[in-house]
Amino acid sequence: MKNRYAGDHDNGAVPSFLLTKPIYPMMPKILVTRFSATNSEKLFGNYQRFGRNTRIMDWIDKKSLLLATCGAHLTGVDADEYITRSTAGPGAGGPGSFFLLENGRRVRLCVDPGSEVVCMHHGGGAVTCDLAGETFSATLEKPGLHCPRQAYITVTESCTFSCRYCSVPKGRGRKTKEGIVALIESVLSSIDAISLTSGVLKSIEEEEEYVLSVVRDIRRFSLPIGVSIVPTPAGPLRMKEAGVYEVKFNLETATDALFSMICPGLSRAVIFDALRESVPLFGRGHVFSNIIFGLGETDEELATCMRSLAETGIIPILRPLYPAAALASLKRPGAERIKTVFLMHRDILSRYDLDVSAARTMCPACTGCDLIPGVDS
């Protein structure tokens, strides 16, 4: 598949609409050229040439670079208690990942001894990180289950569908309700929310029924519960009645055409309808949808998708592609594009008065894998 964006942008070209439509007044043109590289060596070189001697990197630049690089070499004092080994989310099944916190803002990094980003652990979670020739201090956060401050549980670690980006292993099966309760109890003192996601063991209907039965069992913890599954048309109302606080149904791609290539057998229209029906039930700003970018979509297509969600009160979460599974040969978006998409995202959420910082569950409350308007900026 030809990556249209990579073809235009990774060579340093800027989409013409970015230059002619002043919808990103905060984006100086120098950044457009400064982050034009795609591999980390060239990227860091550019940063040093244009940025290091003139100012300290701000958090948006820093997180853009970290998200583009994706991994870091975590060294120094043993940090195993800070490493999470997940079966869902970016990097699932890999050597693990860890969460850095700087001034209350979070980023998740995969453990990668070969990375040019080096985080030195001094003990007690205190780290100093070298990034693009700059050193900054941060702290390591202990994960609850999967991410900090949440028990984020994959109910069924198997799926009958074959979404091309997904590395959820087949055949691992389903957690029992008793097992899920025990998992939550094991981290109860360190979490503020419970989030559930799931593959599809038999059918979308059967999976939803099982996840809702789990929700009824875990209401006893009196914590906000977020659910991210493939919904049935009746799913939003049933989830509300079961006690779910927030929902996230992932459209995954910016366009229908990409969806049918990436997620064969699933219906983007059904997911979109469920999102729309969820807004009056859960409230504006408490309904989310992950959109992966880096699949070959254009920025215009991404903006159109974001607007179509935001105008109905749904918050899109923009996620740079983590090349894995059948998409392992694609490139992760570079820092320049991650920042460009963030600025578009921020503009659109502001226009529709949507506040991600009110989220209590799932990825919008975690923020580790994405640049989130209103939290990171």
- Note the residues at the interface with ligand SF4 (CB under 6 A): 89-90, 108, 146-147, 152, 363, 366, 368-369
CB of 151 to ligand SF4, least distance (A): 11
Distance of CA 126 to the CA centre of its chain: 25
Q: For ligand SF4, which is the closer residue by CB, 44 or 152?
A: 152
Residue 207 has φ and ψ, to the nearest 5°, of -65, -45
Which pair of tokens denotes residue 263?
A: 């997620």
Nearest to ligand SF4 of 159, 366 (CB atom): 366
**Shortest CB 256 distance to ligand SF4, Å:** 24
Residue number, 318 or 366, with CB nearest to ligand SF4: 366
Is the Cβ–Cβ distance between 109 and 65 less than 8 Å? no
Longest dimension (CA), the chain: 58
Q: Which residue has the tokens 């208690």?
A: 81
Which one, 146 or 346, has the nearer CB to ligand SF4? 146
By beta-carbon proximity to ligand SF4, the closer residue of 10 and 376 is 376
d(C-alpha 32, C-alpha 377), whole Å: 18
Q: Which residues have CB under 8 Å from 185's CB, separation 6+?
A: none
Residue 147: CB minimum distance to ligand SF4, A: 4
Produce one character per residue of 258-291: b if its CB has 16 or more CB atoms within 10 Å, e if not.
bbeebbeebebebbbebbebbbeebebbbbbbbb
Strands 150-154 and 193-197: parallel
Q: How far is the CB of 292 from ligand SF4 (least distance, A)?
A: 12
Shortest gap between Cβ of 217 and ligand SF4 (angstroms)? 21
Collect all residues with Cβ–Cβ distance below 8 Å to 305 and sequence separation of at least 6.
Answer: 251, 254, 255, 291, 316
Q: Which is nearer to ligand SF4, 18 or 166 (CB)?
A: 166
Q: How far is the CB of 182 from ligand SF4 (least distance, A)?
A: 21
Tokens linked to 228: 């991210």
